[in-house]
Amino acid sequence: MSSSNSVTVQILDKEYSIICPPEERNNLVGAARYLDGKMREIRSSGKVIGADRIAVMAALNITHELLHRQDRPEVASGGATREQVRDLLERVDQALSDDPVSKND
């Protein structure tokens, strides 16, 4: 692939240049925007510090959403899904606040 197939996206104030087929460009940009939004939400909560930890939390949240939708395809991102994601986030936040290692990062 040539550099003309390179797409630059910005995620949490960092630029990433990614090579992808032209027909996937819009999907890649959309995915990067979605990830950026999730990471910004986590960062703004103030409960998770460090880009690596924020990225892992965002990945967990997005994976949870995906797996939940696969398990229950008839439910289209309704209130129940949001409530379960909130519950998961609260449990992870609690675990991180109880973790002495995360307090030293």
How is the chain split into domains, by residue range? 3-103
Give yes or no for a contact between 35 and 61, defined as CB atoms under 8 angstroms apart.
no
For the segment 41-99, what is each residue's pLDDT rounded down to a tens digit?
999 998 888 999 999 999 999 999 888 887 775 555 556 667 777 777 777 776 676 65
Looking at per-residue confidence, does 10 or 76 come out higher? 10
What's the mean pLDDT in 12-24?
Answer: 92
Give yes or no for a contact between 54 and 12, defined as CB atoms under 8 angstroms apart.
yes
* CATH topology classification for 3-103: Double Stranded RNA Binding Domain (3.30.160)
Give yes or no for a contact between 12 and 36, defined as CB atoms under 8 angstroms apart.
yes
The pTM of this model reads 0.62
pLDDT at 1: 44
Closest CA to 54 of 93, 10, 28: 93
What is the DSSP annotation of 60-77?
Answer: HHHHHHHHHHHH-TTS-S
Question: Both tokens of residue 83?
Answer: 């409530």
Q: How far apart are CA 12 and CA 49, in angstroms?
A: 13
pLDDT at 80: 66
